[in-house]
Structures are given as structure tokens and as C-alpha cells.
Structure 1
Amino acid sequence: MVRSKGEEFRRSGLTLGDAARLFMSYPNAKVLLPVTGAAVAARLAMGRFGKKDAAVIAATVAIEPFVEWLIHVNVLHLGPKRLRGRTVELPSSRKHREHHRDPRNPDILFVPALVPTMAGIAGINVALLRKPRPALTGVAASFAFLTAYEWTHFLIHSSYKPKTALYKTLRRTHQLHHFRNEKYWFGIITPVSDKVLGTYPAKEDVPPSPTVKTLGVTEAA
């Protein structure tokens, strides 16, 4: 019997290789990996790595957890708003709420509008860094983190069982975010931002949330 992607994603005994092959069957992975690889290869081909490149990479590593946290809290969890008598909502927020309703569905856990997102990331790096070498370093590092985010998030929601202490921690805290209380544990790649910003409590210190699936939004029938 041929399994669907969802069935394969949730099946017992899923290996890391199985998860990787399934990940690569999705459009976001098919875009992210070759584009990230091309950006890294292009930067390597330019050569002349210096202190500015090191500073760009260090800055990217330092701010990524906090950018991730800010987007998760202020964009993905942003509910519908009333504007001039109409209810409006960001498509990314609506899709993220769908993900909370059905967290084991692999078809709805990827970053929406990936290509515009990547174009925006590239544009920010070029605008801030200006010179070609450090700008391309920033683009390559940013794309690498975006790829890591997508892969980690995919793996956390799959049935793959953690083997390392870090991954066990990431999987456990993200499950707490989805199944105990949506107001805590926002980090995906690392819990650093949660620990710094006060959203990393002990499980026992936080009551179960009645809105963990809906994010406090009642859907129209």
C-alpha cells in the first residue's frame, strides 16, 4: 500500500533519512536548498573573506532567534482586526492558525509565500550591507538559517524520535507550545530567545490553555 505524505509523516518508525526524503518532496525545500546552495557557492567563488564577513555571520547568528520570536509572536499569532467595518487578517496569520488546529499535517507547516520572503531577506541584506561581498555573505547566512528553520520545524512535527539532547529539548518545548499553552515556547531552532524574553517557563508553572488550538479566534461557520 502506498502511503500519503501525511501518513508517512506520522507513521511509527520514521527515520531521519525517511524524513529528509519526505521534506525534499515539498516545494519550499525544492526552492530553499538549491537557492541556498547557490548563494553559498557564489560567495565562496567571490573569495576574500574578511572581518566584515565574520561580523555579518556573527550578527546573523545572534539576531536570528529574536527575529524568529518577533515574527512568531507579532505576525503569526496576530488575530483578525476590524478596519473600516471589515475584518482583515494577514494570510500568514490565518495559515498559522490552521497549523495550530492541525499540527500533524505536513502540508500546512511551511513558511507561506517563500519566494517573496526570500526576496525580502535578500533586499534587506543588500540595503544594509551595500557592498557585494558582505551582502552576499548575509544573504547566504540568512538563507541557511531559513532552511534550518524549515527543516527543524518539519522534523519536530513528524513522528521521528529525537536522538540528541538539543533536539529532544526543541521538540518537547514546541509540543508544549502546540498542546499546552500557545503564549510560551516560541523558538524553533533554539530556545535562546524564549529564555531571554521570559517565555520559557517550566511546564508545571503554566496552565493548559483553552485556546491553544484556535489562538483565541472563533472561525466563521
Structure 2
Amino acid sequence: MRRGLGLTEAAREFVRHPSPWMIAATFGIALVARIAVGDWQRTDALVPVLILAAFPLVEWIIHVTVLHWRPRHLGPLTLDSELARKHRAHHVDPRDTPLIFIPPKSLAITIAALLAIALLAFPRLGLGLTFLLTVGTLGLLYEWTHYLIHTDYKPKHALYRAVWRNHRHHHYKNEHYWFTVTTSGTADRLLGTAPDPTTTPTSPTARNLHASE
């Protein structure tokens, strides 16, 4: 993409990829169902608050344990998910636009799992749909933020600049640190993966995860 990319142009590219549409469809269906079910209670306000509070930590855990999964061998079997494989390819070329997005197959499985949680893990249907709406909102935010960071759109505000810088350090400085994407490193600071970039060595394997150093 050319330098000086604007948000409108970025959005046109964003909607050409399947994952935003898949997440948006899930959100839309959940919204219609939530309105139809009604039964609004105080706990419907509590669920989004708890999810928002936990999201930076969840994002960190997924990045570390799922996306940075090191392939393991169990006899003739290789344990290696599509998400991990695609993420390694994303590190090889962080500007390859299709690799920025959640793979559709893995996303479909994730949506099915979240739907099952919404329907089965909550004491009432309305609360489960509130959960699904909140997660759908965060999913769209994640996809848009992650995509935008890897374009030529330049940060114009301090909050996004901090998020942009944090994730850029992960890809171009050292892949062992700075695991949060949509926040400016809240979980990284809590878990000790937000070192001073000026004193952190540049990793030779940031573009080739799990290679011998």
C-alpha cells in the first residue's frame, strides 16, 4: 500500500476480506436475537464490563499460547494449528495483507464455539446473547486495529500511536515481547513483556519464529 494511506482507503481494503464480514454477520444476528429476546437485567451491563477488563489478558494469552505455538510431534503426528501456521507466515511478511486477518476456517470454528458458550454457559439466553454481542464488537475492533497497524496509515492520536508502536516492536524488534495488539501494552506491563525498546536487543528470529538463533 502507498504511503499516506487514509482511513477511507484503508476501510475499502478491509471490507474485501472475509473475516470482518463473518464477525459482522455474527454480531448482526446476535443483535437481532438479543432485541427479540428482551429480558434486560442488570447483569447485562456487568458482562461487557467483565469482558472488557479481561480482554487485554485474554489477548496476551492467545497470542503467546496459540499464535506463537511451537509445532510439536507426537509420533507421526504434528500438532500445529492453522492459526499458528498462518501467524508464522504473518511474521515472515507482516505486510502481506491476507495474512493479517484471522483465517476463515479457524474463525468459523471460533464463532461456533462462542455460539455454544452463549447458548449453554449462561443462566438465561439474553445474557448469553449479550456475551456474544460484546465478543463480536471486540472481534471487529481487533481485526480493524491489527489490519490498520500493518498498513501505511500513520498514527495521528496518542492512544493509537501507543498501540501501533507496541505491535510494531513485536514484529520488527523482538517477537518475545509486546504481545498485546488492541491495547497499548496493559497486559504486557503486568506480565513483564514490555521492556524498554531502547535497551532490548533486536531478535534475529522476529521474521522467522522458532528458528534457531
TM-score, normalization by structure 1:
0.89
In 1: Cα distance, 2:82 partner to 2:24 partner: 24
- Among 187, 194, 206, the alignment partner of 1:193 is 187
- Among 212, 215, 221, the alignment partner of 2:206 is 212
In 1: Cα distance, 2:140 partner to 2:101 partner: 11
Write out aligned runs for 1:67-216 (5 A).
67-112=58-103, 113-190=106-183, 191-216=185-210
Moved more, 141-150 or 120-129: 120-129
In 1: Cα distance, 2:46 partner to 2:60 partner: 22
Q: Amino acid of the residue matched to residue 78 of structure 1? A: W
Moved more, 162-171 or 33-42: 33-42
Per-residue deviation at 1:39?
A: 1.6
Per-residue deviation at 1:88?
A: 3.4
Matched residue SS, 1:204: coil
Matched residue SS, 2:148: helix
Q: Deviations over 1:60-109 (max 9, x none)?
A: 11111111111100111011112115443222111100000000011111
Per-residue deviation at 1:160?
A: 0.7
In 2: Cα distance, 1:41 partner to 1:143 partner: 13
In 2: Cα distance, 1:90 partner to 1:34 partner: 25
> What count of residue pairs does the alignment treat as equivalent?
209
Identity %: 40
Moved more, 171-180 or 208-217: 208-217
Per-residue deviation at 1:188?
A: 0.9
Contact 1:118 1:143 in 2 (8 A): no
Q: Amino acid of the residue matched to residue 33 of structure 2? A: A
- Among 28, 43, 47, the alignment partner of 1:52 is 43
Q: Amino acid of the residue matched to residue 123 of structure 2? A: R
In 2: Cα distance, 1:189 partner to 1:214 partner: 23
Contact 1:79 1:217 in 2 (8 A): no
Q: Deviations over 1:105-143 (max 9, x none)?
A: 111111122111111122223332131111000011011
Residues 1:88 and 1:47: Cα distance change in structure 2 (over 3 Å): closer
Per-residue deviation at 1:35?
A: 2.4
Contact 1:187 1:194 in 2 (8 A): yes
Q: Deviations over 1:13-41 (max 9, x none)?
A: 21101111110111111222232133224
Matched with 1:7 is: none
CA RMSD of aligned residues (A): 1.5
Matched residue SS, 1:68: helix
Contact 2:4 2:153 in 1 (8 A): yes
Contact 2:19 2:101 in 1 (8 A): yes
In 1: Cα distance, 2:61 partner to 2:40 partner: 31
